[in-house]
Amino acid sequence: MNLQHHFLIAMPALQDPIFRRSVVYICEHNTNGAMGIIVNKPLENLKIEGILEKLKITPEPRDESIRLDKPVMLGGPLAEDRGFILHTPPSNFASSIRISDNTVMTTSRDVLETLAPINNRLTYWWLWVMPPGKKVNWNKKFSITRG
- Residue 10 near residue 21 (C-beta atoms within 8 A): yes
Dist. CA 23–CA 40, nearest whole Å: 6
pLDDT value of position 142:
42
User: Where is pLDDT greater, at 101 or 136?
Assistant: 101
Per-residue pLDDT tens over the stretch 44-72: 888 888 888 888 887 666 666 667 788 88
**How many CB atoms are closer than 10 A to CB 54?**
12
Task: State the DSSP code for 52.
Answer: H
Per-residue pLDDT tens over the stretch 71-99: 888 888 776 667 888 888 876 788 888 89
pLDDT band with cut points at 50, 70 and 90 for residue 119: very low
Question: Quick one: 1 exposed, middle or buried, by C-beta within 10 A (0-12, 13-18, 19+)?
Answer: exposed
Cβ neighbours of residue 107 closer than 8 Å, sequence gap 6 or more: 82, 83, 84, 85, 95, 96, 97, 144, 145, 146
Q: Is 6 helix (H, G, I), strand (E, B) or coil?
A: coil
pTM: 0.74
Mean pLDDT computed over every residue of the chain: 76
Dist. CA 92–CA 94, nearest whole Å: 7
- Structural domains in the chain, CATH included, are 43-129 (3.30.70.1300)
Q: Is the pLDDT of residue 125 over 80?
A: no
